[in-house]
Structure 1
Amino acid sequence: MTDRTVSLDALADLPASGATSRWVSGEVGLHVLDYAGPADATTAPIVLVPGISMPAMGMDFVARELARTRRVLVTDVRGRGLSQSGDDYSMPAYAQDLERVITALVPAGDAVLVGHSMGARIVTLVAARGEVEHAGVVAIDPPISGPGRDPYPTTREAFMGQVEQALRGTTADEVAASWPTWPRREQEIRARWLGSCAPEAIGATHDGFESEDFFEWWPQVPAPVAFIQGADSPVVPTAAMDEVTTINPHASVHVVPAAGHMVFWDNAEGAAQVLSDALDAVGAD
């Protein structure tokens, strides 16, 4: 199992976020950032699940905006951030982890599950499994690659190269070479936190993007459910949207303008508005 690195500089980001660290025990110990939101909040809480190489802290700017009106919990998926590594990085293992988080931290069953990229696959499978109660699902630009489909547009080698660079020690300038349009703060946070991702977790998850089919789970997701696409996303091309809407007619569909796959990093204001619309569509605003 490869070593993972979390520097003191990275840990110093945690108190600045204003979130509280929560811990969920089990076969793999899980870390969750809990943004309390207003004491008098009446809107549904959100459980936010990041993408393949995104620790919870990487979505701090998204969570903070949402926490203006509600409680927000952001998960460190196993093998990332401060969550423990595991032996299994399949989508069912991720789904079981999220079910543990929901049961432990939002037992009322009133949370909306919001996932981006890999996280969108995870919340979709949790909803399809029906093992825990929740108030709705928002899937944001999930990988629709899989058997017999076009491959995931970012190669396994590209992901592994970025993580290996981070384990050696990377900088915001090096991150900018891969993500030149990101805000500088987000480049800096990625430079500090990417080394917390286990290479085997990234590699196995990317393999799953090719071997596990999102469209096996998507039709089983009950209402209320929403699907968000980045207008220029290569991960969910416009040609695939007919299948998205046909096999789950319950879903409302929303598009973030001027954004690729990394919708919040490409167009933070536009993505926030579209997510608000999607939450309204699932009855969570």
Structure 2
Amino acid sequence: MSRLVCGGQVQANGIRQHYLRYGGAGPTLILVPGITSPAITWGFVAEIFACHFDTWVLDVRGRGLSDSGEGLDYGMESCADDINAFAEALGLHRYHLVGHSMGARFIMRAAVKQPDGVLSLSLIDPPVSGPGRRLYPGQWPWYQDSIREAISGMDAEAMKKYCPSWSETQRQLRAEWLHTCYEPAIRRAYDDFHQLDIHQYFRQLPAKTLLMVAGKGGVIQPEDEAEIRELCPDITITHVPDAGHMIPWDDFSGFFQAFGNFLGAPLHTETQS
């Protein structure tokens, strides 16, 4: 039985923000997905978090059912402000932040800008590219081509060329929702991976922090880990050796095992029913 409580929308930071809420009890956890992942595509992950947390999954602006289109700023500052305004609008005063990829970069900035209430940060394979640094390994045409094909209409079989290792259910869900990813918003986030350096924020993080590294993702290398640990000596670094960048898709149980006791209790996939 699903632990989905509801979907909803709230006006915060001047835009309509859409969310999915799972669990409804326990400490609050806000989950911010990556560059082309509407909230619904992280539902299978939120179901496990919901065993322990009141879990809120956001549609980042320009994705899913949140505000999109021309006239919005899709840069890091605005998206970080969205997270803080979302928490304030819904009266979420103390919360864990979990972010994947782009979402990890956003929660870092949000926590630095508004540290009060942040219990912890879980950074799931964040891009550590930036000016003068190694390029982010994902190539822009992969995003652009898949979005444009989704706008025209595609199914799970067509999505296989972009996500060959995913299950049919996962590919079908992505095929259904990828068209909601507004291409200029995705392009801005992708460009920011290369133009904005997040290392400056590691020294400023206000709460205990976990960095989860995908062993096969190519995003974070050993030298990056060493630099991050120097900047943030108390950081907890864990690895999911057999997973690519989309960690829970590649190793569902390994993703949750990598949290260990960081969030206060182990997370077990067998609790899902």
Q: TM-score, normalised by structure 1?
A: 0.87
Shift of 1:18: 2.5
The corresponding residue for 2:269 is none
**Aligned partners of 1:254 and 1:278 also within 8 Å:** no
Asked if residue 179 in structure 1 is aligned to residue 163 in structure 2, the reply is: yes
The percent identity for this pair of structures is 34
Q: Deviations over 1:184-218 (max 9, x none)?
A: 21111101000111001111110111111111212
Out of 245, 255, 259, which is 1:271 matched to?
A: 255
Hey, what does 1:211 align to over in structure 2? 195
Offset, 1:57: 0.4
Q: Per-residue deviation at 1:67? A: 0.7
TM-score by structure 2 length?
0.91
Structure-1 separation of matches of 2:8 and 2:174 = 21
After superposition, give the CA deviation of every residue in 1:62-109 in whole Å (9 maximum; x if it has no partner). Answer: 001111222110000000000001521110110000001111224322
How far residue 131 of structure 1 moved from its aligned partner, in angstroms, is 5.2
| Equivalent pair of 1:91/1:122 in contact (CA under 8 Å) | yes
1:248: which partner in 2? Answer: 232
Which residue number corresponds to residue 72 of structure 1?
55
Alpha-carbon distance in 1 for matches of 2:72, 2:82: 13
Aligned pair 1:236/2:220, yes or no?
A: yes
Deviation at 1:234, TM superposition (A): 0.9
Deviation sequence 1:148-168 (CA, Å, 0-9, x none): 011111122221111111111
Equivalence for 1:54: 37
Are positions 1:108 and 2:93 aligned together?
Answer: yes
Moved over 3 A (4+): none
Q: Report the AA paired with residue 28 of structure 1.
A: I
Alpha-carbon distance in structure 1 between the residues aligned to 2:258 and 2:131: 30
Q: 1:137 maps to which residue? A: 121
Change (3 A) 1:22 1:52: same
Residue 191 of structure 2 aligns with an amino acid whose one-letter code is: D
Greater Cα offset, 230-239 or 255-264: 230-239
- Aligned equivalents of 2:168, 2:80: Cα separation in 1: 32
- Residue 34 of structure 1: which of 10, 14, 21 is its match? 21
- How many residues matched? 262
Larger fraction in strand: 2
Return 5+ residue gaps in structure 1 as ranges. 1-15
The answer to whether 1:199 aligns with 2:186 is no
Letter of the structure 2 residue corresponding to residue 191 of structure 1: A
Instruction: Please tell me whether the aligned partners of residues 11 and 89 of structure 2 are also in contact (alpha carbons under 8 angstroms).
Output: no
Does residue 1:18 correspond to 2:4, yes or no? Answer: yes
Contact 1:17 1:60 in 2 (8 A): no
Report the 3-state secondary structure (helix = DSSP H, G, I; strand = E; otherwise coil) of the residue aligned with 2:211: strand
Query: Quick one: structure 1 residues 151 and 228, their matched pair in 2 at CA, closer, same or farther if it must change by over 3 Å?
Result: same
1:169 corresponds to: 153
The one of 75, 80, 84 aligned to 1:95: 80
- Distance in 2 between residues matched to 1:278 and 1:148, nearest whole Å: 33
C-alpha contact 1:128 1:218 (8 A) present in aligned 2: no
What is the Cα deviation at residue 135 of structure 1?
1.0
Q: Secondary structure at the match of 2:57?
A: strand
Check whether the contact 2:118–2:206 (CA below 8 A) recurs between aligned residues.
no
**Cα distance per residue 1:218-237 (max 9 Å; x no partner):** 22112311111111221112
Residue 3 of structure 1 aligns with which residue? none
- For 1:91 and 1:125, the matched residues in 2 are separated by 8
The one-letter code of the counterpart of 1:227 is L
Q: State the alpha-carbon separation in 2 of the partners of residues 215 and 79 from structure 1.
A: 25
Equivalent pair of 2:125/2:219 in contact (CA under 8 Å): yes
C-alpha RMSD of the superposition: 1.8
Q: Secondary structure at the match of 1:189?
A: helix
